Amino acid sequence: MLLTYDQILEQLKEKGINLSYQRLKVLDFLYKNQIHPTVEQIYLGLVKQIPTLSKTTIYNTLKILINAGLVREIPFKGRESCYDINLDPHGHFCCDSCNQIYDFQIDVNLIKSKDLEDFKIRDRDVYFKGVCSRCLSKI
Ligand SMILES: [Zn+2]
Ligand SMILES: [Zn+2]
């Protein structure tokens, strides 16, 4: 279930994490722009409003939120990492043509392999790549 903004703040409080104004703005941006933004996109989205914002602050904020289990990093090979505040189990599709990242519904918890029977699994990710239907329809 997607957490509400208040629930996220509540969780931060419970974990003893105090976010400064700039850091809260980064969290706010992630929440309002659930487009899997990169650090660059977050920066460009906020710098007009907060001219003193630095990319280092954004990186550090993301690190805190990832460690708190509230944001997930999506490391697609060959492109900048992007960040997702939607922690519901879902897969990601990256379009080779428009570079957009799409969410798709899949219960990643149902994916199992005999080869990993004795392993402790911390996280499950499903990544697909290809060309999205919007780009395909333009060809
Ligand atoms: Zn596309
Ligand atoms: Zn996503």
The residues, any chain, with a CB within 8 Å of residue 59's CB and separated by 6 or more, are: 39
Task: Find the ligand nearest to 138 CA.
Answer: 1
Q: How far is the centre of ligand 1, averaged over its atoms, from the C-alpha of 114 (Å)?
A: 35
Tell me the CATH number of domain 89-138, given options 3.30.1490.190, 3.30.540.10, 3.30.450.20, 3.60.15.10: 3.30.1490.190
CATH of domain 5-83: 1.10.10.10
pLDDT at 112: 86
Q: How far is the centre of ligand 2, averaged over its atoms, from the C-alpha of 19 (Å)?
A: 23
Q: How far is the centre of ligand 2, averaged over its atoms, from the C-alpha of 74 (Å)?
A: 8
Q: Which residues pair with 82 in a beta bridge?
A: 38, 74
The residues, any chain, with a CB within 8 Å of residue 32's CB and separated by 6 or more, are: none
What's the average pLDDT block by block, 10 residues per block, for the chain (139 residues)?
86 93 95 93 96 96 94 85 90 92 90 92 89 93
Q: Do domains 5-83 and 89-138 have the same CATH topology?
A: no
Q: How far is the centre of ligand 2, averaged over its atoms, from the C-alpha of 69 (Å)?
A: 14
Q: In what order do the strands lie in the sheet with 90-95?
A: 101-105, 90-95, 127-130
Give residue limits of the domains in the chain: 5-83, 89-138
40: left (phi over 0), alpha (psi -120 to 50) or beta: alpha
Q: Which residue do the tokens 């499950």 mark?
A: 124
pLDDT at 1: 58
